[in-house]
Amino acid sequence: MNPSYIPADEKHGSYWRKTASEVLKSKLKETLNTNKAKNGIMFIGDGMSLATVMAARTFAGQMERELGEDNILDFEKFPVTGLARTYCIDAQVPDSACTATSYLTGVKTKYGVIGLDGNVTRGSCFSQLHKANWSPSIGQWALAKGLDVGIVTTTRVTHASPAGMYAHTSERNWESDSDVPDECLSLGCKDIAYQLITTNPGRQFKVIMGGGRREFMPNITKPSTNNTGRRLDGIDLIDLWHEDKVSINATHQYVTDRSELMKVFNSNDLPEYLLGLFQNDHMDYHLKANNQPTLEEMTEVAIKMLSRNENGYFLFVEGGRIDHAHHDSLARLALDETVEYAKAVKKAKELTSEEDTLIVVSSDHAHTMTVAGYPSRGNDILGVVDTANGDDGKPYTTISYANGKATSFDEHGRIDVTLHSQFSSGNLDYSYPSLVPLDSETHGGEDVAVFASGPWQHLFTSSYEQSVIPHMMAYAMCLDDNSHENCRPRSRRAFWISSGLNIKPNKYYIVTLSAVILLVSGMYF
């Protein structure tokens, strides 16, 4: 290892002792924030494993010409961290459907199922129609308390993660009616896009932004847009969304690109409802995008719109294409998408106050990407290990996948990646080596990190089931019956504060106070 890479101050023990002392002092100054969380924002980095976090922080640092390893992504600065267990009730390694149901509705379910409990059979319409199986999301809980709700994603808005906010479906792939079997359609099962636009809670969402325009449009080409949808029922759900808002006399705006979105954002008269569908399919990767809003920009617009509700809001934000890049073993794109996700978190933190806004950052599941070997400090995280070759004499990459699209072997043995022009040139479409050849790299089954900042952040420490997350957020936001003291309206607490009495208004004090009032009244009448 090259000692010249080591910063001079890091060579002295005093540097590390001082660093530890500063962290300890900051920890000792922390006090419990038990305020009511007026607002809640949940960020999900789809497929953002702990290895992805480490590699992305290093990548971001190296993009700034730093060593990289000591860089910190903004959500890593959050004061509280925990670990969530991600399995489905019928699968050791989960998908994004059962996990979305878990972290959004607080109920674990089966692989491929959204918004339904475990009493379902995947793909069964009868299971879907039986309302006793439905599991409402924290978005619905928030609406019931008078809060506004929004969803932002870089995937199709009908994809598994955002669908967990509003859909009840026994098959995650039923995004459009063309995906639903005829026998299920005849029984009355509705596709995910239809549920979003026509049923509660989806139709109540003030902000909906992401991709997936095709799931809402008929299977005909519109001359005005030159886009062809996938729907076979002839319904244009975008038109239906417009008609619904007109029927309730609500201002609304539909946007299809960054320019249109920024026009809305800079307007002095924001609409009450905003629908943004920026691509026919998933949104483009950040490094390949053109006239498409970033996740950071969409998050800022959503917060600006939702903040108008004096009761507060709940916002779901997904960096969904981290997962897609990993599935194709496109490590460079996966790390860049993670950095973009971190920028969105930073923006949300800047626009809100930790006194009244709880921000929770996590992932739905892991991936099989590893960071391995013994590379030197500051070695290119996307390069080859610089200290040694494999036993076959060939170099190997620091990042690789346990399984995936790019095999590590051919008829001559292990492939020398340095001879691959896409790797040498840093091509965005270079698939990093994998051990087991598969058409698509799989998810990983390890725990995911949970980062929290704001009221009741201390609840999110330790290790727990992923399904606990929305319940802890709901407690902090006073969305359930298990309320804390600060859930009571301020006016009901004001007397006890202004009177100078260092007591809590329990039933004994209330009885005593009532007796005093009656006594005083009797003296005057």
DSSP run (H or E) holding 84: strand 80-85
Q: In whole angstroms, what is the distance from residue 114 CA to residue 103 CA?
A: 11
User: Which residue, among 96, 233, 94, has the nearest Cα to 163 in the 3D structure?
Assistant: 96
Q: In whole angstroms, what is the distance from residue 523 CA to residue 371 CA?
A: 80
Which residues on neighbouring strands pair with residue 43, listed in sequence order? 317, 361
Q: In whole angstroms, what is the distance from residue 53 CA to residue 432 CA?
A: 17
3-class DSSP state for residue 169? strand
Which residues on neighbouring strands pair with residue 208, listed in sequence order? 151, 275
- Considering only CA atoms, give the Rg of the chain: 26
96 is catalytic: yes
User: Which residue, among 450, 322, 290, 349, has the nearest Cα to 74 in the 3D structure?
Assistant: 349
Binding site per annotation, positions for Mg(2+): 46, 159, 161, 318
Q: Are 304 and 270 in contact (CB under 8 A)?
A: yes
Q: Are 175 and 159 in contact (CB under 8 A)?
A: yes
Binding site per annotation, positions for Zn(2+): 46, 323, 327, 364-365, 443
**Per annotation, catalytic residue among 96, 102, 400, 431:** 96
Q: In whole angstroms, what is the distance from residue 450 CA to residue 467 CA?
A: 12
Binding site per annotation, positions: 46, 159, 161, 318, 323, 327, 364-365, 443
Q: In whole angstroms, what is the distance from residue 149 CA to residue 209 CA?
A: 12
Catalytically active residues are 96
